[in-house]
Amino acid sequence: METKDPEIRLLELDIEIELKRTEISMKEEEDPTDSWDEFCEYMKPEWDALAKLDRERRMLMIPVFDELPTYGDVMTLKHWLECVKCGGFIDYDGFGKYVRDGKESNITIHPSDVEHKAIRKDFDTIIWFNR
């Protein structure tokens, strides 16, 4: 099997993500459910598909760096992973961004990335932002 050029795959993912968002909006408009729980179940396949595309995109992104903000908690990726594995962070709590050489990247990291094995190996630090 031929491996795609990451830049081409990123462009494809941008298109797929935009199409999936449109599909989600249309499905939300058609909502036949009577409760929030039913709505979540109804939308779960689309939300899961969008999350999967986003994870793949974040694994391929070329980072762009900026100064670290004055808020957020900087920690090693190893420490953050340990916290996630013991339940200390869940997606509802917030999100992080990968950090390199004291600079924040534009690539986010979420606790659910751990269960999907979507953790970048080219970083060893993150900044965590609580909700």
Those residues with Cβ within 8 angstroms of residue 64's Cβ, 6 or more apart along the chain or in another chain: 105, 106
Domain span at 79: 65-130
On whether both 71 and 53 belong to a single domain, the answer is no
* Residue after which a domain boundary falls, among 22, 42, 60: 60
**Shared-domain flag, residues 56 and 88:** no
- In the chain, the number of structural domains is 2
- To the nearest whole percent, how much of the chain has pLDDT over 70? 98
Mean pLDDT of 29-33: 92
Query: For residue 4, what are the CA distances in angstroms to 11, 52, 60, 101, 108?
Result: 11, 18, 11, 29, 23
Paired tokens of 95: 């999100």
Q: What is the mean pLDDT of residues 105-114?
A: 98
Q: Over the stretch 58-96, which tens digit does the pLDDT of each residue have? A: 999 999 999 999 999 999 999 999 999 999 999 999 999
In a domain, 1, yes or no: no
Predicted pLDDT of residue 3: 66
Give the pTM. 0.89
Say yes or no: 125 and 73 in one domain: yes
| Average pLDDT of the chain to the nearest whole number | 95
Burial class (CB in 10 A: 0-12, 13-18, 19+), 84: buried
pLDDT of 1 above 90? no
Looking at residue 4, its pLDDT comes to 77
